[in-house]
Amino acid sequence: MGADSTAVLGFPLAYAKTQRFSLGVPRSLSIIDDGATVLFLRSVNGTTATLGLWALDVDSGTERLIVDAATLGGDQDELSAEEKARRERARESAGGIVRYAVAQELPLATFVLAGSIYLVNISSGELRSVDSAEPAFDARLCPSGTAIAYVSNNQLRVTTLGSDGQPDRDAAISPTEADTVSWGLAEFVAGEEMGRTRGFWWSPDSDELIACRVDVEAVPVWHIADPANPSVTPTEIRYPRAGSPNADVELHRFALSGGSQQLSWAIEGSDEYLADVVWNSGDPIVVTQSRDQRTTSVLQFADSATPTVLRSITDAHWTELHPGAPRLHDGSLYTIEDLPDRRALCIDGNPVTEKPLQVRSLVSVDEQGALITASLEDPTEIHVVLIPADGWSPETLTTTPGVHSATAAAGTMVIASTDPTSPITTYEVRRAEETRTIRNLCEDPWLRAEPIFLSLGSRHLSSALFLPSDHDGESALPVLLDPYGGPHAQRVLKSHNPHLVSRWFAEQGYAVLVTDGRGTPGRGPAFERMVWGDLAAPVLEDQLDALDAAAAMYPFLDLGRVGIRGWSFGGYLAALAAMRAPERIHAAIAGAPVTDWQLYDTHYTERYLGHPDQHPEHYERSGLLQDVHSLDRPLLLIHGLADDNVVAAHTLQLSSALLAHGRPHRVLPLSGVTHMTPQAVVAQNLLLLQLDFLNEHLTGSANA
C-alpha cells in the first residue's frame, strides 16, 4: 500500500461524510450592489452539510454570514416533491439554503427553507418570513424587489411584499387545472438533460412574468417502488423514454395587472423542446429545439404572440445547448455555435473566435467585450478568456494549468480555479485594482491525486494514469479502467478532487487509467459527433486502445489482470466491456448502467441514436441485452432502487437475461438510493465493496 495506510483506509468514510470534499466550498456565486458585494452559499466547515448564505464586501474583503440556516429551526429535511426532484436533477445532496434569488435593484435575497419563503436584507441582515402558500418552491424576487413569484401545488403564485406596516398579499396567477398540469416548473428532460431547472421568468420592469405550462398527460407512467418497505405505495413518475411522447410545454405571459397571452414558440410545429427563456432587458428571448435536436431557434417576442426569428442554428447530427448563451447585448446576438473545426463564439452568426479555442460557456457581455470559458491547445484545461469588443486578440485571464470558471457583473469578476496539485479550489475576486479572495473551508482529503496526464494512441486520447505512490517502476500491476467515457461529460481535466477515488484505488495496488474517448467534449464538434448512431463500439474501442498505448509506455501494466468500473454511462461501458471484450477485461463493476437505450429519456438518447422508430438499428447495436450470451467474466451490477433517472429496470432486466442464458453474475440492490447515492454509509461501503470485488478477481486478496 502506497500512501499512509491510516489515511488511505479512512478515505472512503471521509469522502462520503464530506460529500466528495465539496462541503465548505463556496458555490452559487452572484454579484450585486453594483459590483460591491459577492453573495455565495457555503457551510461553516468541511463536514457540515447545512449551507448558509454569505456575503463578501469587495472593498474591505470582509466575509459575513448573512443567514445561518441551522438557526432557523424547523425540519430542514422536510422537502416538497418539487424540491426533491430538483435536487436529484441537480445532484444536490447538501441541506439548508441550497438555492437563493436576488433582486437586481435592491440588496435583497429570497430563499425557501422547509417549504417556507424567507426574505433577507443583505445590508442589514434583517430576516423575515414571507406570507405565502406552502409548500413553496423556487421563490424568485422581481428585479425591483417588491414581489416574489414561486410555485406551490403546481400553481404559479405571486406575493406582493408589504411595506410601511402593510401585510404581504399573496395570490395565484395561474389557473387551477388537472393533476397532470403544472405551472412554473421545469419538466423532467429540461432539468435532467437541458440544464433548465426553472419554469418562470420575471420581466425587467417587474410587471410581467413568463411561465411554463407543462402537461404530462401523454408521458408514460412509471412506478418507483421500495421493495424493502412493501407497505409503501410506489411513487408514480412520468418518464419520457426514447420514442415516447414528451411533456406538452407551453409559454404564457402574465401581466400582474391582469390578463395573459400564450406565446406560440413552436415554429411550424417542429420545435418540441423549450431550452431557455432570457429576459434581462427589452423583449424576451426564447430558445427552442426540434425533437431531433438538429435545429435550435432563437426567438424574440415583442407585443404579439408571434416571434421574430433572430437566429436558426442547424447541424446534420445535433445542436448543442451552451451555458450562458444566447445573449443579446447592445443590439447584437451572442451565440455559441459548432463549426467543422471548432466550437466558436458568434456575434450575429459570425464567428469571432479562432482555432484552437474551443468555447465552453459564455459568462458575460459588456462594453469591454465577451467573457468566455474555453479550452486552448490542451482539452484538459479550461481557461477564462476575454474577447475584446474592440476586435483585438483574445486575452487569456488565467495562466496556470487547470480548470477555471468565472462569474462577472458590474465590473466585478470572481474566478474559481483548481489544478491537479491542490485539493483547494481558489476564489479570486477582481474589481478595478483590488483583488480579494473567498475562503474555501473544505476538508483536506489527505491523499494527493497526482495524475500522470497522457495523450494515448493514434487518436491522441486524453488520459490520466495513477500508480501506487510506492511502486518500484518494475513490479507488475493489475490495471483498473475507471472511465465515464460517454458523450457530454469529461473526466480527464487538470483538476484535483475529481481524481481522488482513482488515486485511492491506485494506492490499493492498481494502475488506474481514466480515458476520455470519442464523444467527450473539449476537442471540437467533430470528435464529439463520432458516436452518433453507435454509443458502444467507438467508446469501447477507445478504452482498449488507450489501455494498449499505456501498456506500451509502462510495460509493468499487467494486461492479464484488467478490471473496469463505472457509474451511469460508465456503468454501461463497464458491462459492455465485460461482454464484448472478455479477452481483454477480466472483471467489471457496473453501477446504475443503462442496458436498454429505449428505457432512457428522449432528449439524451435521441440526440445520439435518433428516434427508435426511424433508427432501430442504432438501438440494437448500442444495447447490452443482445450480448448476454457472451459474458464469461465476473460482473457486479449495482443499482439504487429509488433511481428515477436510470431506473432499476435496466439492471434487473439485464440480470434476468443473464440468468436465462446461465451466465453467473452478482447484483447489489441499494434500497432507497437514487442515482447520486448521497447517504454517507452507502457511499463509503460502496467503495470498499468494489475494492473487495476487484481484489477477489484480479489479485486473489479479497477481504485483505
More confident residue, 680 or 548: 548
Once rounded to an integer, what is the mean pLDDT over residues 417-435?
A: 95
Once rounded to an integer, what is the mean pLDDT over residues 60-73?
A: 92
pLDDT above 90: percentage of residues in the chain? 85
- Asked if pLDDT for residue 206 goes beyond 60, the answer is yes
- Distance CA(476)–CA(561), nearest Å, equals 10
- Distance CA(125)–CA(72), nearest Å, equals 14
Look-up: residue for cell 440480470? 655
DSSP 8-state secondary structure symbol assigned to residue 547:
H
- Asked if pLDDT for residue 153 goes beyond 50, the answer is yes
- Would you state the pLDDT for residue 268? 53
- Asked if pLDDT for residue 4 goes beyond 80, the answer is no
Q: Do residues 672 and 226 make contact, with C-beta atoms less than 8 angstroms apart?
A: yes
- Would you state the pLDDT for residue 95? 87
- Would you state the pLDDT for residue 86? 78
Least confident window among 57-66, 79-88, 409-418, 421-430:
79-88
Q: Do residues 360 and 404 make contact, with C-beta atoms less than 8 angstroms apart?
A: no
Any alpha helices (H) in 218-313, and if so which ranges? Answer: none
Once rounded to an integer, what is the mean pLDDT over residues 622-628?
A: 97
Reported in sequence order, the residue ranges of 557-681 that DSSP labels E, i.e. its strands, are: 557-567, 587-591, 635-640, 666-670
Once rounded to an integer, what is the mean pLDDT over residues 33-56?
A: 95
Could you tell me the pLDDT band of residue 1, with boundaries at 50, 70 and 90?
Answer: very low
- Distance CA(71)–CA(31), nearest Å, equals 25
- Asked if pLDDT for residue 302 goes beyond 50, the answer is yes
∠ CA 168-174-179 to the nearest 5 degrees? 120
Question: What CATH architecture applies to the domain 452-699?
Answer: 3-Layer(aba) Sandwich (3.40)
What's the whole-number average pLDDT of the chain? Answer: 93
More confident residue, 266 or 70: 70
- Would you state the pLDDT for residue 269? 55
- Would you state the pLDDT for residue 76? 55
Which grid cell sits at 186?
421545469
**Is the dihedral angle over the CA atoms 585, 586, 591, 597 positive or is it negative?**
positive
With b for 16 or more beta-carbon neighbours within 10 A and e for fewer, the 609-627 pattern comes to bbbbeeeeebbebbbbeeb
Reported in sequence order, the residue ranges of 256-293 that DSSP labels E, i.e. its strands, are: 260-263, 271-278, 285-290
More confident residue, 4 or 517: 517
pLDDT of 186-203, one tens digit each?
999 999 999 999 999 999
pLDDT above 70: percentage of residues in the chain? 97
- Distance CA(213)–CA(185), nearest Å, equals 8
Q: Residue 4 CB: number of other CB atoms within 10 A?
A: 13
**Domain residue extents for the chain:** 452-699
Once rounded to an integer, what is the mean pLDDT over residues 341-348?
A: 96
CA distances from 544 to 53, 144, 479, 582, 629 (A): 47, 57, 12, 12, 21
- Would you state the pLDDT for residue 366? 94
∠ CA 595-598-602 to the nearest 5 degrees? 120
pLDDT of 373-406, one tens digit each?
999 999 999 999 999 988 778 999 999 999 999 9
Once rounded to an integer, what is the mean pLDDT over residues 252-266?
A: 90
- Distance CA(518)–CA(194), nearest Å, equals 21
Amino acid, single-letter form, for residue 652: L
Which grid cell sits at 623?
444495447
Least confident window among 429-443, 583-597, 667-681:
667-681
- Would you state the pLDDT for residue 431? 94
pLDDT of 485-537, one tens digit each?
989 899 999 999 999 999 999 999 999 999 999 999 999 999 999 999 999 99
Q: Which of 353, 359, 356 is nearest to 320 (CA)?
A: 359
- Asked if pLDDT for residue 701 goes beyond 80, the answer is no
- Would you state the pLDDT for residue 526? 96
Residue 286: beta bridge partners? 277, 299
- Asked if pLDDT for residue 264 goes beyond 90, the answer is no
For the chain, the residue count is: 704
- Would you state the pLDDT for residue 681? 72
The kind and range of the H/E element at 686 are: helix 680-694
- Longest CA–CA span in the chain (Å) reads 78
- Would you state the pLDDT for residue 677? 75
